[in-house]
Chain A
C-alpha cells in the first residue's frame, strides 16, 4: 500500500482546457470549453445526454483531438500525445472487463501489454484488490461476479495501471440504486486516498453532489457553471443549473413595480410575487425560480407575511425520502416538498388547502433576453 502511494504522488497533473472546440461534421459537441482542474481534485461533469461529457473525457484521455484550443497537463500541451503515453486510467459504464481472463489477469493486462515488470504489477494489483474488498476474487472470472463487484474490478484495473489521471464515464450507471449509493462514497475515498486527479461524468445530480470537490455543469458543449456543491446549490448561475440541481418551480413575468426593499413581479399566471430589490429595471422580463424545498408551509397564518398564499393541493407524491405536493397557483402549479417524518406521511392530501410562504430571498431571478 505504502509503496504504491509513494510511487505515484509526484506525477499528478493540473489540467487546463483553453478554448477547446471539438467538431464532428457540423456538430459542435464541445464548443469553446475553458476550465482548470487542480492536481488531486475530484471534478464531476454533470449534464444531460448529449451535453458533451463523454467527449470531454475522450479529449482528456487522448481518444479525441481538439479541433481548436489546447489541453495542458501542468505546463505541457498534450493535444497530440496519444492515449498510451498519457498515463490515464479509464472506467466505463459497462465495465469492459475481458470475460476470458480472471480478475487478476484483467488487472495486469495493461502492464503486460506495456511489457512492464509483471511481478511488480501483481503486487500493485493485489494491493488494489485489497483496497476494493476484492481479495478473494483474484481467480474468479467476470461472469462469476455481481455487477457491483465487476465495477470494483473495473476501478481497480484503472488505478493499478499507475495513472496520473483517472477518468470515469457513468461508472455507477449500470448498477442497482442501493449498490450505487455505497460505491459512491467508496469511490471518493479511494481517489482521495490515492491522491489522484479524477474527472467523472454523470447525469445523476445526487451522485455529483456526493462525490465531487467541484461540479462542472455542462450543456450543449458549454460550461453553464463550475463550482463547489455549495456554490452551485446556493447560487445557480443559470436556469439550466437551477433545474438540474433541484426540483424547481419556474415562472415567467415582468417587473411591474420597483420598491426600496422589494420589487414586484407580475407573473404570466396572473399572480404577483415580491422579490428582493435588485438592479433590473421596470418592465424587465424575468424568469423566477423557486426550489420546491425552499417553500415554507405555515400551519397558522402570521399577520400579513410577504408572499403568503392559501392554495389547494392537487397532487401529492411520496418520493422515498421526501414527500411532495403540487398546488394550484394562478393558472399554474407550485410544488413544495418536505423530508419525510411520520407527521408528513399522514399529512395533507389532495383537495385540502395549505398556507404557503415563498421567502423573497429564496427566489432566483434571471433576466430573459428578448430574442
Chain B
C-alpha cells in the first residue's frame, strides 16, 4: 500500500512561505498531477514527499505512519527529474541499477531487478548502449527504469516530459499512465502543462502561492472550479461582477450584473444584497444576433473583432456593462461583423458563482 497524506504542512524558507498549511491525500494506486503557476509550491511539495527537505510544520504520512524521520533512501519513493539525471559515463544497465547499488542493495538479485525494470520500459537488449546514443523518450524511460528497479511504490515526477516535443510528449503520457496502472504504483506528477495535467491524472491538485486551491477530477476542475483562481487558471474564463438581488443562498435566484441586466442563477453564493462574481468558460458563452434572439440570460454587446485562431475563432465583444469578454467558437460557425450588436448568452447551468473576494477580483485570479 502507498497512500500519501499531508496534514497541515507548512514549509518556510527564511521568511518566505513556500507551502502554506497544505492538507490532502493521494490514495494508493492513484495518479495525481499538480498544476499551478511557477513558484506556487509544486516542486517544494514533491521534494517534501521525497524527503529531500522536511516540513517546517505539520506531518506527512505514508499509510498513516509519519515519515519525517525516515531518510530519503528508505522511503521507497522514486524521484524522476526533468533532466533525467542519467549518468553519461555509465551504460544503460549501470544507470538502471545505480539506485540499487547506491543504497547498498545485496547484489544477488540486482541483475534480475535491473533487467526486469529495463524490460518494463522497453529497453531490453540495449543494456550496453551509452546514454548519449539514446533519444529523449528513451532517456526518460531509463530514468523510470532506475526508479522501478529500486522497487519504489511511489513515483514522483517533476516535469518529466518537459523536454519533449508535443507529439512524443502525448505518446509518453499514455505510456507513463499505462505503466503506472499496470504496476499499481502511486504517481504524483508536477507539470506546468495544463493539457498534460488534465489528460493524465485521476485527480488534479491546483495550487497557488503555497495553498491548495482545488483537488478534484479533471472534469470537475473544468466544469465546477471551486474558486475564481481555478476558474481563471484552468483554461480560460470571463468574470462578471454583480449583486445578488433575489433568492436565498445555495438556491436559485438572480444576480444583477453591474451596469447590466439580471442573470438567472441556479445556485446563489450568498444572500440578497451581497456582492458576487459570475464566471463562465469562454467556450460556453453563446452569441446570438440581436434580431434573432430573445436574449434569455443574455447581455447586449457590440462585436469588436472576430479572429481566427486555427481550429477556433475568438470573438471580442464589449458588453453594455463596459466589460469586454472573449468568446471561443468552433471555426466554421457563423461570422460576426465588427460593431454588430449581439446578445452574449450565459446559460445558467454552465455558470459558476462565487462570493465577491475581499482582495478584489483581479487579485483573486492573479497568477503572478
Contact = CB atoms under 8 A, between A and B. Distances in A.
A179 to B, nearest CB: 7
B284 A321 contact: no
A345 B349 CA distance: 15
A211 to B, nearest CB: 10
A176 B38 contact: yes
Interface residues of A, number: 37
B179 interface: no
A340 interface: yes
Interface stretch (A28-36, A135-143, A202-210): A202-210
B209 to A, nearest CB: 13
Q: Chain B at the A interface: mostly helix, strand, loop or mixed?
A: mixed
A148 B193 CA distance: 17
Nearest to B316: A185
Given A178-B37, A318-B199, A320-B235, A293 B308 contact: no
Interface residues of B, number: 35
A177 interface: yes
A179 B310 contact: no
A137 to B, nearest CB: 13
Contacts of B113: none
Nearest to B284: A341
A101 interface: no
Interface string B162-204: 0000000010001000000000000000001111001100000
Interface in B294-338: 307-312, 314, 328, 330-331
Interface of A: 146-149, 176-179, 181, 205-206, 209-210, 229-230, 233, 245-247, 291-293, 315, 317-322, 337-342, 345-346
Given A293-B330, A345-B223, 5 more contacts: A210-B309, A229-B307, A233-B308, A341-B283, A342-B223
19 contacts: A176-B38, A178-B37, A179-B367, A206-B310, A229-B307, A246-B310, A246-B311, A293-B331, A318-B222, A320-B195, A320-B198, A339-B328, A339-B330, A340-B222, A341-B283, A342-B349, A342-B350, A345-B222, A345-B223
Interface of B: 37-38, 170, 174, 192-195, 198-199, 218-219, 222-223, 232-233, 235-236, 281, 283-284, 307-312, 314, 328, 330-331, 349-350, 367-368
6 smallest beta-carbon distances between A and B, as pairs: A293-B311, A320-B195, A209-B309, A178-B367, A229-B308, A146-B368
